[in-house]
């Protein structure tokens, strides 16, 4: 055993030099030739780590930083002790997930995310680009990284959330309008540690808007509940709490929890296996606003979680398509993986009643939301079903396609179908640089090119980012 190795009661500790950032929220280090994926470090640091996943025969190990021996100038005090690795392990437990870059300055966070995006594009698509990752909302005004021209992020200066609290002034906090929590065995609100079933009690969620924190769910006895989902729209409309009961939980227990929650909050029970939502009080949906439209979104339905994300992404997508001449009155466009219609509504505005918009969404509940949200737009056709099936059964010519798939991306089969439909342009929205870069490679194999790319920091203090790309046929 080397002198830089020591055993502790909780596992093995090593001293390592932190190398480059990698996709997934960690950096690469090495110990005696073995790769160690280190979370909570910064490239260039020398740190002591605690191994969290270290089978002897494994090709690589995973570890958390427990002590910084030589700090990066970009290291800052973590804003949340429950998510701070060194502080958490000093108290004998892992940090909660969801704020793994909270120890890094926001400017360096965006630089690290840009490195990951560039590496994925180079390795998976053969594209050599190093796009800036743009701040959004107040953070964009603070550091000047955001664009204010047409198609840029929305100006959110002075915006308030449902509890009347202004935005975070550029600190990267108070942006989540949705949050997911676990419940401890004793019935207290908590969050999971990274790659773990362990639920750690929490007393705050600094990344969430005040409308979520004001509910003080950590004061509620949640015995009988396995999971809690909360949505507090940025427009200040009525929040919704979804309770996922454990098997056998009785109605009396749910009523007891209901009595502990504020009277002006909607509450519903949710069965994630059956995808069923049952009203307990108020509504089973929330009302969101973006791009001049109001949207009904079911409690379990998808909506962008950053308070400024909807305006930002709509602006980027329509900006690319307008500038290229692909989104004009009378145009035929399709919104694929359309959700509740975030992009569908502004697309319908742009093409007018002489144009057409095909909106395709696989989830039945969310597709029903889209029908309600777009009922006054005769140029919109809402179809519920898998994108690949709808494209195969309803072939037609499009001026432009908008593609916003789940984290796994579109995949080779769908990309091939998109190319075969021969649109003039495709706007691709992605929340995962790996699946995005893989799909860009597929488009290039089909003789398409990456004509424009923007990246946004819609998930500050986490490793996630959002990209919006414009793709066009070559030649």
Nearest-angstrom CA–CA distance, 176 and 213: 11
Enter the tokens of residue 45.
Answer: 């640091």
Of 297, 337, 359, 312, which Cα lies nearest the Cα of 466?
Answer: 312
Q: Which has the closest alpha carbon to 386: 355, 419, 417?
A: 417
- Rounded CA-CA distance 140/156 in Å is 9
Q: Known catalytic residue: 27?
A: no
Query: What residues pair up with 183 in beta bridges, in sequence order?
Result: 189
Torsion angles phi and psi, residue 158, rounded to 5: 80, 5
The closest of 366, 450, 438 to 408, measured between CA atoms, is: 438
Marked catalytic residue, from 65, 431, 455, 465: 431
Paired strand residues for 61:
36
| Rounded-to-integer distance, Cα 50 and Cα 61, Å | 10
Report the candidate in 98, 177, 83 with the shortest Cα–Cα distance to residue 137.
177
Using CA atoms, how far apart are residues 464 and 250, in angstroms rounded to an integer? 38
**Alpha carbon distance 324, 193 (integer Å):** 45
Active site residues per annotation: 431
């Amino acid at each position: 055993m080397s002198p830089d190795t020591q055993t502790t009661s909780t596992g093995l500790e090593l001293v390592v030099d932190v190398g480059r950032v990698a996709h997934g929220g960690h950096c690469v280090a090495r110990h005696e030739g073995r790769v160690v994926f280190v979370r909570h470090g910064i490239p260039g640091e020398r740190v002591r780590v605690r191994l969290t996943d270290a089978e002897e025969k494994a090709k690589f190990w995973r570890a958390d930083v427990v002590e910084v021996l030589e700090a990066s100038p970009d290291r800052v005090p973590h804003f949340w002790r429950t998510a701070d690795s060194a502080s958490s392990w000093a108290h004998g437990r892992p940090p909660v997930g969801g704020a793994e870059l909270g120890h890094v300055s926001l400017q360096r966070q965006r630089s690290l995310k840009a490195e990951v995006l560039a590496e994925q594009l180079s390795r998976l698509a053969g594209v050599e680009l190093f796009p800036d990752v743009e701040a959004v909302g107040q953070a964009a005004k603070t550091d000047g990284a955001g664009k204010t021209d047409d198609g840029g992020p929305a100006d959110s200066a002075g915006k308030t959330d449902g509890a009347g609290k202004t935005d975070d002034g550029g600190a990267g906090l108070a942006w989540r309008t949705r949050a997911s929590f676990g419940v401890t065995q004793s019935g207290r609100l908590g969050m999971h540690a990274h790659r773990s079933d362990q639920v750690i009690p929490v007393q705050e969620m600094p990344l969430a808007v005040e409308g979520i924190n004001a509910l003080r769910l950590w004061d509620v006895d949640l015995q009988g509940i396995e999971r809690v989902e909360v949505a507090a729209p940025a427009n200040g409309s009525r929040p919704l709490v979804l309770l996922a009961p454990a098997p056998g939980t009785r109605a009396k227990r749910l009523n007891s929890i209901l009595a502990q929650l504020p009277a002006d909050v909607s509450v519903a029970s949710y069965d994630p296996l059956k995808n069923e939502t049952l009203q307990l009080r108020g509504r089973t949906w929330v009302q969101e606003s973006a791009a001049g439209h109001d949207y009904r979104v079911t409690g379990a339905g998808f909506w962008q979680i950053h308070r400024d994300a909807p305006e930002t992404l709509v602006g980027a997508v329509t900006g690319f398509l307008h500038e290229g001449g692909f989104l004009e009155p009378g145009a035929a466009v399709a919104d694929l993986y359309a959700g509740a219609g975030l992009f569908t509504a502004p697309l319908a505005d742009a093409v007018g009643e002489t144009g057409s918009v095909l909106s395709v969404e696989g989830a039945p509940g969310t597709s029903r939301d889209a029908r309600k949200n777009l009922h006054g737009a005769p140029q919109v056709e809402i179809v519920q079903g898998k994108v690949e099936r709808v494209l195969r059964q309803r072939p037609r010519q499009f001026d432009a396609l908008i593609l916003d798939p789940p984290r796994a991306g579109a995949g080779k089969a769908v990309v091939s179908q998109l190319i075969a439909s021969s649109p003039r342009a495709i706007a691709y929205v992605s929340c995962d640089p790996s699946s995005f870069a893989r799909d860009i490679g597929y488009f290039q194999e089909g003789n398409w090119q990456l004509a424009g790319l923007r990246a946004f920091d819609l998930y500050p203090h986490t490793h996630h980012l959002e990209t919006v790309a414009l793709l066009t046929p070559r030649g």
